[in-house]
Amino acid sequence: MISKKDKKKINKPKETDIEEPLIFNEIMDEADVLELNLFTDINEAFFNEANRVVQVLMEAKRNFEASRIKRYTDIIFNLHRLYVDEVIDNDFLRPRIVSSENKLRLALELTLTSEEAVQKLKEALGDAWKESDSSALREQLVQEKLQEVLIKCDGLGDINSGLTDDAAENISQILHVYK
């Protein structure tokens, strides 16, 4: 008979201590992770393979590893789905973006051309105002000179009242021309 002490010394192997060898047919994936096309390479076959790995781990009673891989696979699946949706939306919007960029470029060019035209018009208007002011000034000066001449001529008429009728007639004709 075995004593209680001896029974304690004999350890029964626990089922959790024994690790069953993992039977898994590994498919060699020769694609470099950095060269993966996230749109085409991560596809249904990728997720089927991940689910198969989870299934093999579950059958081997490696629940922790299986749950972690399943969790990461689900995260990758959701991220992939969002990424694919964004790529499709981007492809749909790309022609509109290009069209908008072209319209903006054209608007900027037209604005620049319009600004140049407005600047030229401002310069032309300034020149016209200068010429108009010069003409008005010249006209005013001519009017002032004419007034001076008329005043002098009126004074001559008073002085020459004793002149002959022909001389008085000539002076009145000259005065009439300037009026």
Query: What is the tens place of the pLDDT at every residue in 27-71?
Result: 556 667 777 778 787 888 888 999 999 999 999 898 999 999 999
Residue-averaged pLDDT of the chain: 79
**Cα(73)–Cα(5) distance, integer angstroms:** 50
Predicted local confidence at residue 17, as pLDDT: 47
Query: What is the tens place of the pLDDT at every residue in 138-159?
Result: 999 999 988 888 888 877 666 5
In a 10 Å sphere around its CB, with 0-12 CB exposed, 13-18 middle and 19+ buried, how is residue 99 labelled? Answer: exposed
DSSP state of 19: P
Predicted local confidence at residue 45, as pLDDT: 87
CA neighbor of 121 nearest in space, from 132, 129, 137, 109: 129
